């Protein structure tokens, strides 16, 4: 028996650094230690909610304290019983995801097995990645082309980006033309790459349809979150009008909610986020459910290296895997240095398994937990929402 003895929560980060991803300039790291000496790590997203998620981690701690760490399903069910807002609260699902992740990390270590073998074994010999975070300060087509060239030289053959500048809710004809110029320039210069169009869930249906129809000629692999996430009728309209696969899911918090999107044919590629979806088991379950609908999986993966490792452990097991979001090449040094050793290596645009470290397959550099301790909310910029790539929420008329 391995009971959870110590629960430590770390907020780490670097405010004012050079990261192009303001929403992930902070990380919330959970460390569980059992009474027989095993240690496991989890990660919860901050997403402009660092302090609320931090406090929810403390609330969930009351449920997990003293529990048998390997009884993961039992402990999750206990949390579901006590946490009234769990099905629809990002704070609750994010906190529970960290506990689930850390519990699996320890369970893998107890049995001496990497988690990709726990969740069905390796199916994909390598995992294709697409680059995100590669285009900070890109406004004009030439800016995007210059940054794309650097990124493609790193080995990536797929790029995701948001070409819509500072448009929000309404997308006018000038913004549409500018977006077309950006995407056209990238496709003209790099005809062999796959592209994905990011909308960040910020358009009304009329505007999203205009954007989608303008992008059809470029044959994107998918268009992501084209309408506001609470406008289901708008998504119906978009799906009926635009012939590009729709990807969404980073703001869907469990598989039961996903079922409504699937059975109503509102999504083609699901993108759950293992760090706010209550963890690996729920993510694997959603992927299997998507397979029943003939859909593929491309997990959202925009925060830190513990989330990245958890996500890759599931990716390698999926028969309906499509492609994996990766910010890794654009992380600041402190985030890169959080991991001393990993089962996974990104080479020429693909993740490969290079070791068999048990659990999540990572070795944490605890000096980073100490040196980069911080206690604050995510940075706020009144001129640019925190969810965009830094320096891109602009439009030159």
Provide the annotated active-site residues: 200, 300
Chain centre to alpha carbon of residue 116: 18
Chain centre to alpha carbon of residue 130: 12
Tokens 């995407």 — which residue? 183
Identify the three-state secondary structure at position 27.
strand
Parallel/antiparallel/unpaired status of strands 194-198 and 158-161: parallel
Contact indicator for 343, 361 with CB cutoff of 8 Å: yes
Give the torsion sign (CA, 132, 134, 136, 137): negative
Tokens 């797929």 — which residue? 158
Spatial neighbors of 206 by CB under 8 A, at least 6 apart, are none
Parallel/antiparallel/unpaired status of strands 362-364 and 158-161: unpaired
Cα separation, 337 vs 347, whole angstroms: 18
Distances (CA, A) of 145 to 1, 164, 183, 184, 390: 56, 15, 9, 10, 17
Give the torsion sign (CA, 251, 254, 255, 260): negative
* φ and ψ of 79, to 5 deg: -65, -40
Two tokens, residue 77: 């069910």
Parallel/antiparallel/unpaired status of strands 246-248 and 222-224: parallel
* φ and ψ of 35, to 5 deg: -70, -15
Element (H, E) at 195: strand 194-198
Distances (CA, A) of 7 to 30, 102, 274, 368: 7, 10, 20, 18
């Amino acid at each position: 028996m391995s009971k959870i003895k110590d629960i430590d929560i770390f907020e780490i980060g670097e405010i004012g650094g050079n990261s192009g991803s303001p929403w992930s300039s902070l990380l919330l790291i959970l460390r569980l230690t059992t009474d027989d000496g095993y240690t496991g790590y989890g990660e919860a997203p901050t997403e402009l909610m660092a302090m609320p998620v931090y406090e929810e981690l403390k609330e969930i701690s009351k449920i997990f304290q003293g529990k048998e760490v390997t009884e993961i399903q039992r402990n999750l069910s206990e949390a579901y019983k006590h946490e009234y807002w769990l099905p629809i609260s990002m704070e609750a699902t994010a906190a529970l995801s960290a506990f689930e992740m850390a519990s699996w990390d320890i369970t893998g270590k107890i049995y001496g097995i990497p988690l990709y073998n726990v969740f069905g074994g390796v199916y994909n010999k390598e995992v294709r990645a697409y680059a995100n975070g590669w285009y900070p300060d890109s406004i004009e087509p030439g800016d995007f082309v210059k940054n794309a060239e650097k990124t493609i030289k790193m080995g990536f053959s797929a790029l995701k980006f948001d070409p819509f500048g500072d448009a929000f809710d309404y997308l006018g004809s000038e913004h549409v033309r500018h977006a077309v110029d950006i995407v056209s320039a990238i496709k003209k210069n790099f005809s062999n790459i796959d592209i994905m169009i990011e909308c960040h869930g910020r358009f009304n249906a009329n505007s999203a349809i205009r954007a989608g129809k303008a992008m059809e000629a470029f044959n994107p692999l998918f268009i992501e979150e084209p309408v506001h996430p609470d406008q289901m009728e708008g998504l119906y309209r978009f799906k009926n009008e635009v012939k590009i696969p729709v990807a969404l899911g980073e703001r869907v918090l469990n598989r039961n909610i996903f079922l409504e999107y699937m059975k109503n044919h509102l999504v083609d590629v699901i993108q759950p986020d293992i760090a706010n979806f209550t963890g690996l088991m729920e993510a694997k379950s959603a992927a299997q459910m998507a397979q029943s609908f003939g859909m593929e999986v491309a997990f959202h993966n925009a925060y830190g290296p513990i989330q990245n490792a958890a996500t890759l452990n599931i990716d390698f097991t999926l028969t309906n895997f499509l492609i994996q979001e990766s910010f890794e090449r654009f992380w600041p040094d402190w985030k890169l240095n959080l991991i001393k050793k990993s089962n996974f290596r990104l080479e020429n645009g693909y993740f490969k398994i290079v070791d068999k470290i048990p659990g999540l397959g990572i070795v944490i550099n605890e000096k980073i937990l100490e040196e980069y301790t911080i206690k604050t909310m995510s940075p706020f910029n009144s001129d640019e929402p925190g969810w965009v790539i830094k320096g891109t929420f602009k439009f030159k008329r």
